[in-house]
A and B are shown apart, each in its own frame.
Chain A
Amino acid sequence: MSSDPHTDSAGDPLPGPSPERLGDRVAVPSVDRHILLDAVSVGYGDTVIQRDLSFGIRRGDVFVIMGGSGSGKSTLMRSLVGLLAPQAGRILFDGVSFWDAPQRERIRRMRRNGVMYQSGALWSSMTLEENVALPLEQYTRLTPSRIHDVAVYKLALVGLSAYCDYYPSEISGGMRKRVGVARAMALDPDILFFDEPSAGLDPLSARLLDELILELRESLHTTMVVVTHDLASIFAIADDSVFLDAATHTMLTTGNPRELREHSEIALVRDFLSRGER
């Protein structure tokens, strides 16, 4: 998984999408790139938070979106999952531009994504089992008893099948995040998005969540997009990454974080990945 030809771009300083680079990336067959960003700008209202983002995410990779606080990682994720239209550029899933598609198509695409939110975002008026079951009730024709079985199975995958009847307020923050993962997996998505999976967790729970992400990738071959700035987690799970910079409002580089830490030509990226300790 890690021995691939794409990490050769690791050390490239990438101030913006130079035309030949962009052409090069678009020319890559779309079967290879599960998600492709083409000169995307994101932000709110008149404020641009990130501009000129062009990179691809390979099928089956764990791809990390990293950067300091306020660099727009979560904003970019809101655009990727369909909550916030980008200000410019295209986001392609399997070669199809998401935001140019009619709403019906967009909703169909979104249903094939699973999203784990930073706080879990479980529906507080429903039990854990109902939380996982809701997507199944809405989008499959399974009988109630089959839905129950599937929901319990998904909760078992994250180690929480004993808590089916609990409400989200009755469990800890780490457990809520795991239920968030179970719910995100309910419809067997193609792509799983994680917003700050390790934020607010103790190191051990954070590692368990990382292992869960890797195990799910191994067994389900799902593409994982993870927004995080937690270094331990980045080195543990990432195959590929993009680094967003808050000061210049654009991406600085892409590549495997381990290689970036050693070989990146950009001091800021090396400092970030080594906590500025060298």
Chain B
Amino acid sequence: MRILVGVMTDLVSNPVQPDPAPRIALARDRAGRVTVAIGGAWQLDADLPDLDGIDAELSAEPGPTAVAFETSDLVAWDSGLASYLASLAWRCRERGIAVQEDGLPEGIQALLHLASAVPERRAESRDEHADPFLRRFGLDFIDLARSTGEILAFVGEVTLALRSILGGRARFRRSELWLLIEEVGADALPIISLVSFLVGLILGYIGDQQLAQFGARIFVADLVGLAIVIQMGALITAIVLAGRTGAAFAAQLGTMQVNEEIDALRTLGISPVEFLVLPRLIALVAMTPLLAIYANLMGIMGGAFAGTVVGGLSMAEYFTETVAAIRWNHIVQGLISATVFGAIVAVSGCLRGMQSGRSAAAVGEATTSAVVTSIVFIVIASALLTIVFDAIGLS
């Protein structure tokens, strides 16, 4: 309080004139004592001198015996001066030079005592020096191996939980499952309509432009229909769900981790995998194929819009051609892919949520990581499934 009042009166006494610039002067007497004369207004918003000049003086041979202060010209001060003196005092202590504080204003002396009285806490393993490239590379690799292990362990836990649901012993609330199914399924219809209609439209438009050169405009229906049903419908659904639902799962479980809600389940002997992950996995695996069927229809409608409006085909022609082009095996391929993608989105979202740390930033990271993990594995799975479908003669 006294300090604040001191500053205030200083400010009041110079209401109009601009504050004199902070300045510093050094003088050494014969006994080797350095007197630091401080003048002007030492405030954080002023242009404060740096410590280099004093550093040079302190290191000069022969070393000074003591540092004293002279502050008769000091007009005003705040933390700008206090922090400057604190680091000066620290440097003196390092070099074993005595600091004579009696020349300083009383308030600053008190603050300096306060700042030096707090014992510095030695952080035990907090050395964050830059690692050389090879070491970082190695650490990243170890991280990757560990995270692969974690993913596999999680998938294993989920599988065990699935086994206990088949035995009718899984512990989760049915009411929550229905709520999740609604959130995951019905609520996603608008965005899936929009994206798949537009993708169908774009495919149709580009296809029409190319096919018109051969006078084969009618085949735009084959092109759009097959592309959407075999691959694009499932992929669009999965990517929309990864961004919409996978991220939400990670954020929900991450926040529960922060709130100790997951610990509360564990200490009751309730497995969080059974209670939280299973209903989410079931909801997504059940809903993704249905959403994919819907996305297929909307995509074909988009293609039809392009084919009729731009390509000049009639609706009847377009749909007859589409129905002729698509066979059952194409639809089955799309639905199998959609189911697999749904499981990937659910597992990635829940995994990242369960792994989340206990802070707001960690929940954000978990959410980002959930979407990235989903999309990476969706792309990998989509490539593998294409090979598998080809091998078993489904394509």
Contact = CB atoms under 8 A, between A and B. Distances in A.
B259 interface: yes
Contact of A115 (B125, B173, B255, B267): B267
B263 A83 contact: yes
B261 interface: yes
B108 to A, nearest CB: 27
Given A117-B260, A119-B259, A121-B259, A82 B268 contact: no
Contacts of B270: 134, 138
Given A122-B261, A124-B259, A47 B124 contact: yes
A138 B171 contact: yes
Interface in B156-191: 171, 173, 176
A115 B270 CA distance: 13
Given A47-B124, A47-B125, A123 B264 contact: yes
A212 interface: no
Given A47-B124, A47-B125, A138-B171, A118 B269 contact: no
A241 interface: no
Contact of B269 (A47, A107, A117, A125): A107
A121 B260 contact: yes
B12 to A, nearest CB: 39
B264 A115 contact: yes
A123 B245 CA distance: 20
A39 interface: no
A138 B260 contact: no
Contacts of B256: 123-124
Interface string B258-283: 01110111111110000000000000
A260 B259 CA distance: 35
Contacts, number: 53
Nearest to A123: B261
A108 B267 contact: no
A111 interface: yes
A81 interface: yes
A108 B268 CA distance: 9
Given A47-B124, A47-B125, A138-B171, A121 B268 contact: no
B269 A124 contact: no
Residue among B125, B256, B261 with the most chain A CB within 10 A?
Answer: B261
A83 B171 contact: no
Interface in B233-262: 255-256, 259-261
A73 to B, nearest CB: 15
B269 A108 contact: yes
B283 to A, nearest CB: 14
Contacts of B124: 47
Nearest to A84: B263
B193 to A, nearest CB: 28
Contact of A118 (B173, B176, B260, B265): B260
A113 B267 contact: yes
A164 interface: no
B263 A111 contact: no
A119 B269 CA distance: 20
Given A47-B124, A138-B171, A110 B261 contact: no
A122 B261 CA distance: 6
Interface in B38-55: none
Interface string A109-138: 011010101110111110000000011011
Interface in A61-84: 78, 81-83
Interface string A235-264: 000000000000000000000000000000
Nearest to A107: B269
A115 B260 CA distance: 11
A82 B265 CA distance: 12
B171 A121 contact: no
Contacts of A47: 124-125
B389 to A, nearest CB: 39
Given A47-B124, A47-B125, A135 B268 contact: yes
Residue among B173, B260, B264 with the most chain A CB within 10 A?
Answer: B264
Given A47-B125, A138-B171, A83 B266 contact: yes
Given A47-B125, A138-B171, A82 B266 contact: yes
Contact of A111 (B125, B255, B259, B268): B268
Contacts of A139: 269
Given A47-B124, A47-B125, A138-B171, A121 B263 contact: yes
A109 to B, nearest CB: 9
B267 A83 contact: yes
B259 to A, nearest CB: 6
12 contacts: A81-B267, A83-B263, A108-B269, A110-B267, A110-B268, A111-B268, A113-B267, A117-B264, A123-B261, A134-B268, A137-B173, A139-B269
Interface of A: 47, 78, 81-83, 107-108, 110-111, 113, 115, 117-119, 121-125, 134-135, 137-139, 183
Which 3 pairs, one residue from A and one from B, show the smallest C-beta to C-beta distance?
Answer: A121-B260, A107-B269, A121-B264
Given A83-B263, A110-B268, A115-B263, 14 more contacts: A47-B125, A78-B263, A81-B267, A83-B266, A110-B267, A113-B267, A117-B263, A119-B259, A121-B264, A122-B264, A125-B176, A138-B171, A138-B268, A138-B270
